Amino acid sequence: MTNIKLFSVSLSSLAGGDSQQAVCEGCTRIISDRFLMRVNDASWHEECLQCAACQQLFATKCSGCLDTIAPTEFVMRALESVYHLSCFYCCVCERQLCKGDEFVLKDGQLLCKNDYERERDFQVKSAVK
């Protein structure tokens, strides 16, 4: 039987002017962000909060720029990858990909349909030679 503990989590604002600076439990740096996470009296940066069992970060990271994605942001998804809207573009021609566009996710990189087909055709021609 698995032993599960539930913890109290809250999002606190630092705007209250608390004279004592909070230190992040995860990275041990001072929290100067506007918001911090509080878990059982410990303070965390939003991006540092992680699972105690597997150490997986709770914050969602953009697969393009690797920055944290805020819960209020609109995103684009490709399989398990999540992107800021501005990071969802072809890695070859840098054309912004929109909902409904055909694309390929190859080795973690986005390619529009045209660039993927161009690359595929080049590889086929190279293999024939």
Give the confidence band of 22 by pLDDT, cuts at 50, 70, 90.
confident
pTM over 0.85: no
Name, in order, each residue with C-beta under 8 angstroms of 16's C-beta and a sequence gap of 6 or more.
none
Q: What is the pLDDT of residue 129?
A: 66
46-91 tens-digit pLDDT: 778 888 788 777 778 899 998 888 878 899 999 889 999 999 999 9
Domains observed in the chain: 1-59 (2.10.110), 60-129 (2.10.110.10)
> Which is nearest to 87 in space by CA: 69, 106, 111, 64?
64
- HSE, side-chain direction, 13 A CA sphere, residue 108: 5
